[in-house]
Amino acid sequence: QLQLQESGPGLVKPSETLSLTCSVSGGSISSIRYYWGWIRQPPRKGLEWIGSIDYSGSTYYNPSLKSRVTISVDTAKNQFSLNLRSVTAADTAIYYCARRPPEDPLYMDVWGKGTTVTVSS
Amino acid sequence: QSVLTQPPSASGTPGQRVTISCSGSSSNIGSNYVYWYQQLPGTAPKLLIYRNNKRPSGVPDRFSGSKSGTSASLAISGLQSEDEADYLCAVWDDSPRGPVFGGGTKVTVL
């Protein structure tokens, strides 16, 4: 059974870079059948799509975050990563990674449990 | 402010039918499929409805989705205590391109 697990620092200072990793187990991240993405949820708010990456490394980003975001994949380690630069308090959120098929961007059927990131000095 | 508008709360007694609305625009709900996610307290979202009215395997048929124009609805019939959760709508937005979500509706079982 496929499982996703987010990891990374829980506290990041303003203006620094937030870096998270999503480890995939029970399946290969190189599968052409799926894309891999990041979604976040600020405290007491709805979800916000950050971006996704496919098996070839092609990326798709939220236009509002595109200038600060990089998503990459490491097939050897079966994981993908998120870098969000120049963070502010507004980037404080629970960050989730999720899987979805290429043809259906909103069909996210497997999620990680989420990791809380706080931006504060 | 979320692109999609949902009421912050809804409630019902066990066995009742509860309906949650999701309002958008022509660039999102008006031209694309609507999805619904259920988020139990302290957990990740779970896909509940896809492509307006389809249920993934394992989702009870008490949950149903519909869409009309630039609005969509999620109905929960035969409300159960385990249905107490946040429900979020989601849709692809053509401008700017990408998925957008509602702010969520907290359903309380009285």
Q: Residue A60: what pLDDT? A: 93
Q: Identify which of B24, B27, B45, B44 has the alpha carbon closest to the alpha carbon of residue B36.
A: B45
Whether the CB-CB separation of B48 and B105 falls below 8 Å is answered with: no
Contacts of A111 in chain B (CB under 8 A): 44-46
Q: How confident is the model at residue A61 (pLDDT cuts 50, 70, 90)?
A: very high
Q: Do B101 and A105 touch (CB under 8 A)?
A: no
Res. A22: pLDDT tops 80: yes
Whether A32 has a pLDDT exceeding 80, the answer reads no
Give pLDDT, residue B97.
85
Residue A48 to residue B101, Cβ atoms within 8 A = yes
When CB atoms are compared, the residue of B35, B97, B101 closest to A46 is: B101
pLDDT band at B3 (very low <50, low <70, confident <90, very high): confident
Going across the sheet that includes B18-23, the strands are: B18-23, B71-76, B63-68
Interatomic CA distance for residues A60 and B40, integer angstroms = 28
Report d(CA A52, CA A78) in Å as an integer: 15
